[in-house]
Amino acid sequence: MSNDPIHQFHISKLIPIEIGGYDFSFTNSSAFMVATVVATSAFLFLTTSSRGLVPSRLQSISEMCYEFVASMLRDAAGSQGMKFFPFVFSLFMFVLVANILGLFPYFFTVTSHIIVTFALAILVIGTVLVYGFMKHGFGFLKLFVPQGVPGILVPLVVLIEVISFISRPVSLSVRLFANMLAGHITLKVFAGFVASLSALGAVGIAGSVLPLAMTVAITALEFLVAFLQAYVFAVLTCMYLNDALHPGH
Amino acid sequence: MANESGPDETGKTGPGKSGERAFRDDDLERRRRQLAETLAARRQSEGEGERGAKSGETTGYGQAVKLSSEFIAGVAVGAGLGWAIDRLAGTSPWGLIVFLLLGFGAGVLNVMRSAGVVAQVDPKASDKNAGDRDN
């Protein structure tokens, strides 16, 4: 089934491991997560090892990544938020590199599985909760009580705010996952049209130029989406961390 | 850069080693200030331009996906909570009904918040994030 658009998301066990009845196998997803981490760290280490005062091209890419995330965090959470910089930078680079690696033909896209993006989102919200309660104690709960609400409406508004807070990790993870999944399926379907149309003979080959052009265009769009989703993920992380830092009104 | 152009200017300023040094320091200071001002002005205008371009570019597809996922997440979490409460307390179907409606409210609140219609939870952050939210 080379033409099956879902086949690319299939998880296969590379090294089966089972501990205490649970499946800890090293899968192709794990392999690409390791590849993402290795590629990111190797790139950042190697490009910044020379530490030129006048940066080389690759070094300035690393520096741009750093400054991009740092200014994003500083804008959203103030300079106090900079203690979360390693966290946000790792998240951003992991999502970005995983998205971009997934665009190579025959590569597996780690972020197209909701359990991966949901784990990342839970990590973010868990950090917000733990840090918020650690720093402000129960004052952190003021986050759920907006000011200037009439007394009768407070329970209702608090319930809605709580649901809104719980929906954050869901929307954060679903957005990244849905974008990557939909993009890859679209790409595969259009590329499949090229193959099946060109099997129809001369007319089909002439007609298959259209889906081919579409495939090229969607690939370009996917590169934009890969970056944009990593950016949105990081921006929202910064905004949620801001809630943990300043929950008061 | 100031060092490169230094020798040319020393010829014009005349004799006196100390006068020459003072002139160069003054000149350097003046130039440095000028550079800082130009850079600040340029950075500001660049930032504004970038922001305008970005919000125009991503208003379509990205915005649609973002807003719909916010809304769906609110409703889904509300329904999930209601269902869980029903299961635990045996109040079916009231928990589901009430929390589905609350979830609708939360979804609408999420959408309006991320569209920038309703102020952020933190009023201090709302002005700062005004630019970021439209991405």
**Cβ contact A218:A193 at 8 Å:** no
CB B39: neighbour CB atoms within 10 A? 10
Give A199: exposed, middle or buried? Use CB within 10 Å, 0-12, 13-18, 19+.
exposed
Element (H, E) at A22: strand A22-23
Distance from CA of A233 to the nearest CA of B (A): 11
Those residues with Cβ within 8 angstroms of residue A56's Cβ, 6 or more apart along the chain or in another chain: A47, A50
Does pLDDT of B72 surpass 70? yes
Q: Which amino acid is at A102?
A: G
Does pLDDT of A230 surpass 50? yes
Taking CB atoms and an 8 Å cutoff, what residues of chain B touch A146?
121
**Residue B96: what pLDDT?**
92
Does pLDDT of B5 surpass 70? no
**Cβ contact A208:B83 at 8 Å:** no
β-bridge mates for residue A19, sequence order: A22
pLDDT in tens, A187-207: 999 988 888 888 888 888 888
Q: What is the pLDDT confidence band of residue A142, given thresholds at 50, 70 and 90? A: confident
Mark yes or no for CB contact A164/B109 under 8 Å: yes
- pLDDT, mean of residues B22-34: 80
**Residue B2: what pLDDT?**
45
Mark yes or no for CB contact B81/A228 under 8 Å: no
**Residue A92: what pLDDT?**
95
pLDDT in tens, B85-123: 999 998 888 989 999 999 999 999 989 888 877 765 544
Distance from CA of A243 to the nearest CA of B (A): 7
Share of chain A above pLDDT 70, in %: 98
Mark yes or no for CB contact B132/A166 under 8 Å: no
Evaluate whether residue A75 is within a structural domain. yes
**Residue B117: what pLDDT?**
76
A23 backbone dihedrals φ, ψ, rounded to 5° = -95, 110
pLDDT in tens, A61-76: 999 999 999 999 988 8
Please tell me if residue A164 touches chain B, with a CB cutoff of 8 Å: yes
pTM above 0.80, yes or no: no
Q: Which domain holds residue A141?
A: 7-245
Of B29, B32, B51, residue with least CA distance to B40: B32
**Residue A6: what pLDDT?**
82
**Residue B101: what pLDDT?**
93
Taking CB atoms and an 8 Å cutoff, what residues of chain B touch A179?
65
Distance from CA of A89 to the nearest CA of B (A): 18
Q: Which of B62, B106, B129 is opposite residue A228, by nearest beta carbon?
A: B62
Q: Mutation test of the interface with chain A: which of B55, B72, B77, B109, choosing the one with the most A Cβ atoms within 10 A?
A: B77
Please count the helices (runs of H) and the strands (runs of E) in chain B. 5, 0
**Cβ contact B112:B66 at 8 Å:** no
Does pLDDT of A178 surpass 50? yes
pLDDT in tens, A92-101: 999 999 999 9
Of B94, B75, B95, residue with least CA distance to B85: B95
Name every residue in B having a CB less than 8 A away from some CB of A. 58, 62, 65-66, 69-70, 72-74, 76-78, 81, 99, 102-103, 105-107, 109-110, 113, 120-125, 128-129, 131-132, 135
Please tell me if residue A232 touches chain B, with a CB cutoff of 8 Å: yes
- pLDDT, mean of residues A27-53: 90
Evaluate whether residue A2 is within a structural domain. no
Six-digit token string for A84 = 């979360």
Does pLDDT of A228 surpass 70? yes
Does pLDDT of B124 surpass 50? no
% helix, strand, coil for chain B, step of 5: 85, 0, 15
Does pLDDT of A237 surpass 80? yes
Q: Mutation test of the interface with chain A: which of B110, B121, B127, choosing the one with the most A Cβ atoms within 10 A?
A: B121
Distance from CA of B50 to the nearest CA of A (A): 13
Q: Which of B62, B106, B132 is opposite residue A163, by nearest beta carbon?
A: B106
**Residue B17: what pLDDT?**
52
Evaluate whether residue A1 is within a structural domain. no
Which ipTM score applies to this complex?
A: 0.72
**Residue B1: what pLDDT?**
43
B130 vs A136 pLDDT, higher one: A136
Q: What is the pLDDT confidence band of residue B129, given thresholds at 50, 70 and 90? A: very low
Evaluate whether residue A102 is within a structural domain. yes
Q: What's the mean pLDDT when you consider all of chain A?
A: 88
Give B43: exposed, middle or buried? Use CB within 10 Å, 0-12, 13-18, 19+.
exposed
Distance from CA of B106 to the nearest CA of A (A): 5
> Scanning the structure block, which residue is given the tokens 């910044």?
A48
Q: Which of A159, A174, A232 is opposite residue B102, by nearest beta carbon?
A: A159
**Residue B9: what pLDDT?**
45
Residue B93 preceded by cis peptide, ω within 30:
yes
Distance from CA of B17 to the nearest CA of A (A): 32
**Residue B3: what pLDDT?**
47
Evaluate whether residue A189 is within a structural domain. yes
Evaluate whether residue A27 is within a structural domain. yes
If one counts the domains in chain A, the total is 1
pLDDT in tens, A6-39: 888 888 888 888 888 888 889 999 999 999 999 9
Mark yes or no for CB contact B128/A75 under 8 Å: yes
- pLDDT, mean of residues A119-137: 92
Q: Which of B58, B66, B124 is opposite residue A246, by nearest beta carbon?
A: B124
Q: What is the pLDDT confidence band of residue B51, given thresholds at 50, 70 and 90? A: very low
B130 backbone dihedrals φ, ψ, rounded to 5° = -55, -40
CA distances from B109 to A117, A146, A226 (A): 23, 13, 27
Evaluate whether residue A234 is within a structural domain. yes
